[in-house]
Amino acid sequence: MAVFFGTDGLRGVVGNDLNYDIAFKCGNSLSQLISCGGKVVIGRDTRVTGSYLVSAISSGLTAGGAHVVDIGIAPTACIAYLTKNKGFDYGIVITASHNPKEYNGIKIFSTRGEKLLDKEEGAIERGFIHPLQVPALKVGQYRQDKTYVKDYINFLFNSASCCLSGYKIAIDASNGASFDIAPKLFKKLGAKVIRFSCKNDGNKINDNCGALHPQHLAEKVVKLGCDMGFAFDGDADRLIAVNEKGEIVDGDMVITALAKTFKSHGELAFHGVVGTSQTNMGIENHLAENGIKLYRADVGDKYVAEIMDKNNLSLGGEQSGHVIIKKFLPTGDGILTAVALACACKESKKPLSEFCHVELYPQAHINIEVVDKLRILNSEKLMSAITDAQQELAGLGRVLVRASGTEPKIRIMVESEKLETAECLAKFLASVVVELET
């Protein structure tokens, strides 16, 4: 089990949990896994601490003899694509994804364009202990090359199965890594594009906008008469869509719509799809009615990817908006998913509200900030409370209580046929967590 790495890389508040020294050690340790002279591509989102951490991790890499290509601001999936297709040994993204502006993080991709496994992250952490400094004439070189981003844009364009002319699409880039790429791409595909929160502004990244706050985009979609809206998070690996009625289309519903489309094309491997422990029971029932089996993974898109690999499946993702379309990339890409959804919707000749319609079980979510999330999660009192809540549901719902992989929080989800029941049980569990914390 890695100490610094969580469910989605290494992440924390810059200056506290994450600093120059840790970033340097991470880069230097990674260089020890590469033959001297190997290449690493690195990008970042718009956060103000991005260049600081790029400098630190690049210094660690070059001190260990690795060469670094810095492509500047780019979505996480752009780094995954370039690592896989342009001969890099590793890819690194400096981002804290959906977290607030004071956070930042380090995501690492293998040469296959996949997020590292837990054991690989553990190996990097062990390398923190003994830094490597190669002889002066063998140190790596650092250079900037922003032209690589064009290759990724061309990849996204070529992934589209149709022209999107006739569509009016609103885009909320969360003032993050997709602020420029996403609007330009959809315009190039023929859509009329309206931009919101599409600025290179790290002080406003994820600030009351983007995939975490799609209700604001929903209001604008209705007001402006758009066919659909797409909201991304800070590094654009998540997509939350909005239909023409202003209704939220989350990752579960996107996966369901794409699964049915891919199945009709004969492109859904083994008629299966991967969701997570949070995937709504309504989704599971709907998929089953359409001859599609749902596999559940732990929360975290790298765990979704593991289950996909294990069962040779081609589609999977999370309610939060991470969606993996394996024929294109082995990791989540919000922009790619938006293109696939828009094209599938156009092919159906239905409005998005009909194309992505599923009767969901009501869910209640409560997040509680704590000091020691693992102590609370393993408390006998909390486990007993969870058992009581499950018995109350009597098989007509689900309870999920977990520690956040990226923040000091306990996340509670209760699902039931009745919203009142879900909310009541979620509040009950939350009160137990609060009591254990005080």
Per-residue model confidence as pLDDT tens digits over 192-248: 999 999 999 999 999 999 999 999 999 999 999 999 999 999 999 999 999 999 999
pLDDT cut 70: percent of the chain above it: 99
Is residue 97 annotated as part of the catalytic site, yes or no?
A: yes
According to the CATH classification, is domain 363-437 in 3.30.310.50?
yes
Residues of the chain with pLDDT below 70 are: 1-3, 7
Closest CA to 317 of 296, 336, 340: 296
Closest CA to 178 of 151, 208, 155, 210: 210
Q: Which helix (H) or strand (E) holds 248?
A: strand 248-249
Question: Taking the domains of the chain in order of start, what are their residue ranges?
Answer: 5-146, 151-355, 363-437
Backbone angles phi, psi at 153, to 5 degrees: -60, -40
Structure tokens at 6: 């969580």
Listed in sequence order, the residues at least 6 apart from 402 whose beta carbon sits closer than 8 Å to its beta carbon are 277, 299, 377, 410, 411
The one-character DSSP state at 270 is G
The yes-or-no answer to whether 151-355 and 363-437 have a common fold is no
Give dist(CA 131, CA 3) in Å, integer.
18
- For 50-66, how does the pLDDT look when each residue is reduced to its tens digit (9 = 90+)? 999 999 999 999 999 99
Listed in sequence order, the residues at least 6 apart from 420 whose beta carbon sits closer than 8 Å to its beta carbon are none
Listed in sequence order, the residues at least 6 apart from 39 whose beta carbon sits closer than 8 Å to its beta carbon are 66, 67, 68, 69, 87, 88, 89
H helix runs in 233-296, sequence order: 251-264, 281-289
- What CATH superfamily is the domain 151-355? Alpha-D-Glucose-1,6-Bisphosphate, subunit A, domain 3 (3.40.120.10)
- For 197-209, how does the pLDDT look when each residue is reduced to its tens digit (9 = 90+)? 999 999 999 999 9
pTM, 2 dp: 0.88
Identified catalytic residue from 29, 31, 59, 97: 97
Residue 104's pLDDT is 97
Give dist(CA 76, CA 106) in Å, integer.
10
- What CATH superfamily is the domain 5-146? Alpha-D-Glucose-1,6-Bisphosphate, subunit A, domain 3 (3.40.120.10)
Give dist(CA 343, CA 340) in Å, integer.
5
Neighbours of 343 (CB within 10 A): 18
